């Protein structure tokens, strides 16, 4: 990858092979979309899911072999950094000159392994952590991961998740420590990730709180019998075997305090949605603003959730393609949301929507034509999305 001008680029996304087992597709691609919505394609090394973020220092991209930082003068800084193949979150630190990322290598001969990278234009520093993590977040110039491990507690038949909050970077340097470990209130917590926002002190995470039912209640059931719930409880059963409730979790990164707040509708009733509406939600670093978390449900509805009360409201009736049949990525800023969507393994064009959040006005809806002449849609899948921060 030679000199890359970002001057007239509006959007960027990455395409990766859909499987690490394919012997025929080992290359990944960076795609830049200019003001005329024309695509320029650059080939990179293999990754199942590449990192891609764009900040005031430039554009950061990472595959399994290298870290790349493209600055605003078009210089491409390439640092060798061999790591896992699946991106588990990345973001610029608050000062804007360094990126922290978490990459999943999976199980190895020495156990489970993830890599935390700290990159600037001069160097990449790489460390290893032996935990699977669900959520990554940057608070100021520090970075944190959130995850869990299932284990049976004494006298309990069903495994209960032990959740941990860990610091991986403090004040722009590596400093690893566990802040808190706590048992799930029910049996398991399904987090929406991989990257969650922070207000400088608290991380805000969408989560589905799940309780598994005893064996005698795991009947097949008639779909017409669901959902089942009691009016005074947030728990709702959408399928046999478990019931759950949608929530927002607030984690204080200084004390480890964890608050679990059930989502509610405007009328005060519990916000009852199936688990996949939460686990497939789209949000990220810029989605928190002025006490509200803006997010897109798995089904495609744009919502705003008050992080103190859990009250959740649709925003102007805006709806995007769902995340069940499409790869979908959203970038939030204070004023707008940009959403990329594409049906995997199809020759349909990649689509990008931009909305003004305050007014609900559709700013643009464009399609990227001609892309699949350069990239084989049968072997590649869209894995990341970034928006020019100056637009």
From residue 236, alpha-carbon distances to 157, 222, 261 in Å are 21, 16, 15
DSSP string for 2-71: -----TTEEEEEEEEES-TT-SS---EEEEEEETT--EEEEEE---SB-EEEEETTEEEEE-SSEEEEE-
Task: Give me the count of residues in the chain.
Answer: 391
Q: Given this model, what pLDDT does residue 215 score? A: 65
Helix (H) or strand (E) holding 91: strand 86-92
Q: Given this model, what pLDDT does residue 122 score? A: 82
Residues of the chain predicted below pLDDT 50: 216-217, 219
From residue 188, alpha-carbon distances to 71, 253, 310 in Å are 42, 21, 20
Domain limits of the chain? 1-132+369-391
Buried b (16+ CB within 10 A) or exposed e, 45-67: ebbbbbbbbbbebbbbbbbbebb
Read off the DSSP letter of residue 282: B
Q: In this structure, are residues 135 and 147 in contact, taking their beta carbons and an 8 Å threshold?
A: yes
Mean pLDDT over the full length of the chain: 91
Whether the CA torsion 34, 18, 47, 205 is positive or negative: it is: positive
> CA 368 to CA 41: how far, in whole Å?
12
> CA 356 to CA 279: how far, in whole Å?
25
> CA 266 to CA 39: how far, in whole Å?
42
- pTM for the structure as a whole: 0.93
> CA 376 to CA 202: how far, in whole Å?
42
Of 316, 319, 202, the residue nearest 249 (C-alpha)? 202
> CA 257 to CA 260: how far, in whole Å?
10
């Amino acid at each position: 990858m030679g000199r890359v001008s970002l001057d007239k680029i509006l959007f960027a996304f990455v395409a990766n092979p859909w499987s690490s087992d394919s012997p025929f597709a080992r290359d990944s691609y960076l795609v830049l979309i200019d003001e005329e919505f024309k695509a320029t394609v650059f080939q990179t090394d293999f990754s199942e899911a590449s990192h891609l973020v764009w900040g005031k220092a430039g554009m950061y991209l990472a595959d399994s072999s290298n870290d790349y930082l493209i600055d605003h003068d078009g210089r491409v800084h390439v640092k060798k950094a061999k790591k896992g193949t699946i991106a588990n979150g990345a973001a610029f630190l608050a000062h804007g000159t360094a990126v922290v990322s978490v990459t999943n290598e999976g199980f190895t001969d020495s156990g489970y392994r993830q890599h935390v990278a700290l990159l600037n234009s001069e160097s990449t520093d790489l460390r290893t952590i032996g935990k699977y993590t669900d959520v990554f977040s940057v608070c100021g110039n520090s970075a944190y991961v959130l995850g869990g491990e299932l284990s049976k507690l004494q006298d309990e038949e069903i495994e209960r998740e032990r959740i941990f909050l860990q610091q991986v970077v403090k004040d722009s340097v590596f400093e690893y420590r566990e802040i808190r470990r706590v048992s799930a209130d029910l049996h398991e917590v399904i987090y929406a990730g991989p990257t969650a926002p922070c207000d400088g002190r608290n991380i805000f995470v969408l989560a589905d709180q799940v309780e598994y039912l005893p064996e005698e209640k795991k009947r097949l059931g008639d779909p017409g019998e669901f959902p089942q719930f009691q009016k005074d409880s947030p728990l709702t059963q959408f399928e046999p075997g478990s019931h759950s409730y949608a929530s927002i979790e607030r984690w204080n990164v200084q004390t480890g305090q964890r608050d679990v707040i059930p989502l509610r509708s405007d009328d005060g009733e519990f916000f009852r949605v199936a688990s996949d509406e939460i686990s497939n939600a789209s949000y990220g670093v810029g989605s928190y603003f002025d006490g509200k978390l803006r997010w897109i449900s798995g089904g495609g509805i744009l919502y705003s959730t008050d992080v103190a009360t859990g009250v959740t409201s649709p925003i102007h009736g805006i709806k995007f393609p769902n995340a069940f049949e499409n790869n979908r990525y959203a970038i939030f800023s204070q004023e707008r949301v940009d959403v990329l969507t594409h049906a995997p393994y199809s020759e349909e064009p990649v689509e990008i929507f931009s909305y003004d959040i305050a007014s609900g006005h559709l700013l643009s809806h464009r399609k990227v034509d001609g892309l699949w002449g350069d990239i084989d849609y049968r072997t590649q899948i869209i894995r990341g999305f970034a928006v020019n921060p100056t637009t």
